[in-house]
Amino acid sequence: MLAASEPERLYSGLSLLVSAAADGRPCGGLATFRALELLLGTSDRDDKFARSFAELRDTALELEGLELYACSASVETIGIARETIEERLDGVMSTPSFLRRAEGATLLFV
């Protein structure tokens, strides 16, 4: 579950997902509210961290074995077009659906 509003915390969560997926373990993430905006948007920062975050985000979005979904409630509340989400993420999913799909898996909340 990705809910961090700070790019540094989201970076840590993405780093865990990317590391696990790169190690061959199937992973999934559900991005909510500000974390969703950070995944879809661009940073207004122009520093080393912003470039590193963008690279990690792009790796996460392209990595096989790692599926990232937008929380349906967040999508409706924020008003992000589904087309925008489907261009970058694996789709939109409700929290209950995500939890059912992740049943038995290690669940982290960042």
DSSP string, 49-82: HHHHHHHHHHHHHH-TTEEEEEEHHHHHHHT--H
Is it the case that residue 43 has pLDDT exceeding 60?
A: no
pLDDT tens digits along 83-95: 999 899 999 999 9
The reply to whether 94 falls in a domain is yes
Tell me, yes or no, whether 107 lies in a domain.
Answer: no
Residue 106 has a pLDDT of 87
Question: What is the extent of the structural domain holding 14?
Answer: 7-101
- Is pLDDT above 70 for 44? no
Q: Is the pLDDT of residue 50 over 90?
A: no
| pLDDT (0 to 100) of residue 48 | 87
State the total domains in the chain.
Answer: 1
So what's the pLDDT on residue 45? 63
pTM of the model: 0.90
Residue 79 placed within a domain: yes
**106 located within any domain:** no
